[in-house]
Amino acid sequence: MAQLEKLDDRVRELEQHVEHRDGVIDQLTEDLRRSQSEVSALHTRMEEAEMNSRLPCLILSGQSAGRGGGGRGAARGGDQEQREDINTFVIDTLNRCFPGLGVGVADLDRVHRLPGAGNRVIIRFVRSGEGSIRDTVMSRRLELRGKELYVSESLTKTRSLTFRSLLAAKKDKRLHIVCTRGC
């Protein structure tokens, strides 16, 4: 009888221990859910902040955005490195491809080549929004059909992945049109 009482007491102790651990697990589960919600909200804020920083930017790509001849691009000539005047190149290219646009140095904040293949150039305009040079270039980019120059928006990693998946759906003829507007 004493052994049964000992076993009964031990079972009660284990049940209390399990109940306590269940409470701890429930609390940790709630903490994890709250943390995941906070991380999701921070991720959304970060994506929006990055999108806002990319909004005044456009990317030129294709052969016409390539490094032109005559000393353009980084080329070693003896000990002296010749560097491309990327601002002049972009201004000349945009004004040539979009007659009447009138892009000048004052319209550009920063311009530089992106690493990797593709001769891509990223342009950060001083101003974006209705009536800006940036938005005029975006609205007139269809004039480039048949030319080897492409204009696109600078998208965040998440939005770029989404855009690529939509392009794949368009290629599979599940979508008719895919485009970006305002990043």
Q: What are residue 67's phi and psi, to 5 degrees?
A: -75, 115
Residues with Cβ within 8 Å of 62's Cβ and at least 6 positions away in sequence, in order, are 119, 147, 148, 149, 150
Q: Which CATH class is domain 55-154?
A: alpha beta
Q: Which of 180, 86, 68, 83 is nearest to 124 (CA)?
A: 86
pLDDT recorded at residue 171: 86
Domain boundaries defined on the chain: 55-154
Token pair 């995941």 in the structure block, residue: 36
How buried is 90 (Cβ within 10 angstroms: 0-12 exposed, 13-18 middle, 19+ buried)?
buried
Contact 111, 87 (CB under 8 A): yes
The strand pairing partners of 60, in sequence order, are 121, 151
pLDDT recorded at residue 182: 65
Annotate 126-145 with b (16+ C-beta within 10 A) or e (fewer). eebeeeebbbbbbebbeebe
List of E strands, the chain: 57-61, 75-77, 80-82, 108-113, 121-125, 150-153
Listed as ranges, residues in the chain with pLDDT below 70 are 63-84, 182-183
Q: Give the global pTM.
A: 0.62
Q: Please give the DSSP secondary-structure letter assigned to residue 106.
A: G
* Element at 168 (helix H, strand E): helix 157-171
pLDDT recorded at residue 47: 82
